[in-house]
Each structure stands twice: as structure tokens, then as C-alpha cells.
Amino acid sequence: MSDATDTGRYLRLTVDLVVEVLDVDALQAAALAEIRNPEAELDDAERQEQIELVGSDETGAAALQWLIEPAHVLGLVEHVQEVEPREAMLGVEPSEGILEEEEEHDHEGPDDHLL
């Protein structure tokens, strides 16, 4: 038996982007404004939890994750008519400031490059 997932072709798009945080306080303030926005679909407990998370994260990673719109990520492929985005996941974490070369390059293709 075959189901729909057996018949489609799926590709995983992996993007590493390193950003420099120029003003952590301003980044956190922008994220807190989004969290406090009444249109944010959060109940009071979730809102308070997110406020505490953003406020306690000295790196700004939690704040930045709040400010990145999923539509922006999906925008990487929206102009490609031959594909349909199916799922996206975003993670933001501290970095040492450079893209790290992986020791194993088994997954790299001929078109892999830094932008």
C-alpha cells in the first residue's frame, strides 16, 4: 500500500545565518512589545512566561526568535513555482560569530556556498 507521502519528493532546506546583535536591550524591547501585543495569541500565563524568557536571555536569541515572522522564512522559496512549502522550524541560538565548517561534508552538494 502507498500513501500520499510515498509519492511526493521532499527536500530539506538548511540555512545557517549568523547575525551580530548591536543592541540587546533594543532587541528585547522590540520582542517584548510583540509579546505584549493583544493580537499575540497568548494567554496570560504564556505571555508572562515569554516575557520572563526574553528578559532573562542576555544573548538576545529568544528575542530574535520572537521577531522573525514565519512568512519571512517561507519567503525564501515563495518565488519558486515548482515547490510548495510543507513545514518549517526555526531555531535561534548563541554563536561564536562565524559559520562553523562541519567535519563531515557528506550532505553538501555542488551548489553549497556561503552568501
**What confidence tens digit (pLDDT) does each residue in 70-100 have?**
888 888 898 999 998 888 888 899 988 888 7
Q: Is residue 36 part of a domain?
A: yes
Asked if the structure places residue 49 within a domain, the reply is yes
Q: How confident is the model at residue 2 (pLDDT cuts 50, 70, 90)?
A: very low
Residues 48-69: tens digit of each pLDDT: 999 999 999 999 999 999 999 8
SS (H, E, C) 16-69: CCCCCCCCHHHHHHHHHHHHHCCCCCCCHHHHHHHHHHHHHCCCCHHHHHHHCC
Hey, CA dihedral for 8, 4, 15, 80, is it positive or negative? positive
Q: How far is CA 11 from CA 14, 70, 85, 87, in A?
A: 10, 18, 10, 11
In a domain, 104, yes or no: no
Question: Within 10 A of 35 (CB to CB), how many other CB atoms are there?
Answer: 20
Residue 94 falls inside a structural domain: no
Residue 96 inside a domain? The answer is no
Q: The cell 504564556 sits on which residue?
A: 46
Is 64 part of a structural domain of the chain? Answer: yes
**Residue 50 falls inside a structural domain:** yes
Its pTM surpasses 0.85: no
Domain containing residue 72: 22-82
Number of domains in the chain: 1
Residue 92 lies in a domain: no
Q: Closest by alpha carbon to 88, among 67, 74, 107? A: 74
